[in-house]
Amino acid sequence: MNPFTLNELKSAVPLSQLFPQFDQVLMEELLRVGHIMEFKEGELLMRTGQYFKYSLLILEGTVKLYREGQEGEEFFLYYLEKGNACALSMICATKNEMSEIKATAITPVKALAIPLQHMDYLMKNFRNWYYFVLETYRSRFEELLQVIDQVAFHSMDEKLEFYLKRQFQAFNSDTLTITHQQIADDLNSSREVISRLLKKLETGKRITVSRFAIKNINL
């Protein structure tokens, strides 16, 4: 059950700031049918093979999405940050399909959860929502094309540089708190290869590397 009244939600959830494309009527409808969900750092939001129950509008925090291989290996796809929504859940909602990705909260996350049974109604009756779903799907598709391009046509050192740039941009910081093994897992590589390539970037004065952090110098 939603523990907030509609008026309390209006004051607590900054939809107009995070989703300025929504008009007032749509925002009130989303607050009426949705409810707040909170996830701890490291908590799993979605498993591969799980059915979607909600589409999440991210209000605070960052979610990391992965594609899993048959043997449990993982490949990093992209982040969801505040002001973002999960395009996959929106598309799968219409077909009642299972998730093909894994999503993990890498910081504490607060989201407005929209039950999927409301998606058809929102799509048919709110033009702002209809265009928002299309734009969300389009932007994520373009981002995935960049990932595919890196995987298919670039060497591992180029993939690593592309990956680091995305991380610095996603966190709006010039310092990443991350291990070499985490990077290797995200890129489906080995820690030894990643350590060697990071050292090469450091020698070229592109980054500085410590045990648990990487600082952007000139990427």
Q: Quick one: pLDDT at residue 1?
A: 42
Determine the residue type at 209: V
Between CA 202 and CA 103 the distance in angstroms is 31
Of 180, 155, 167, the residue nearest 219 (C-alpha): 167
72 pLDDT band, cuts 50/70/90, is low
Give one DSSP letter per residue of 99-128, joined into a string: P-SEEEESS-EEEEEEEGGGHHHHHHH-HH
Q: Is the pLDDT of residue 6 over 60?
A: no
The tokens for 157 are: 């050192």
Those residues with Cβ within 8 angstroms of residue 173's Cβ, 6 or more apart along the chain or in another chain: none
Digit-coded pLDDT (tens) for 41-69: 999 998 888 877 888 999 999 999 888 77
Q: Cα 39 vs. chain centroid, distance in angstroms? A: 14
Residue 179 CA neighbour count, 13 Å, CB half: 6
The pTM score is 0.73
Those residues with Cβ within 8 angstroms of residue 100's Cβ, 6 or more apart along the chain or in another chain: 48, 67, 88
Between CA 29 and CA 33 the distance in angstroms is 6
93 pLDDT band, cuts 50/70/90, is low
Characterize 61-95 residue by residue with b for buried, 16 or more Cβ atoms within 10 angstroms of its Cβ, and e for exposed. bbbbbbbeeeeeebebbbbbbbebbbbbbbbbbee
Digit-coded pLDDT (tens) for 104-143: 999 999 999 999 889 889 999 999 999 999 899 888 888 8
The answer to whether the CB of 17 falls within 8 A of the CB of 59 is no
| Domains parsed from the chain with CATH numbers | 6-153 (2.60.120.10), 156-216 (1.10.10.10)
Mean pLDDT of all residues belonging to the chain: 85
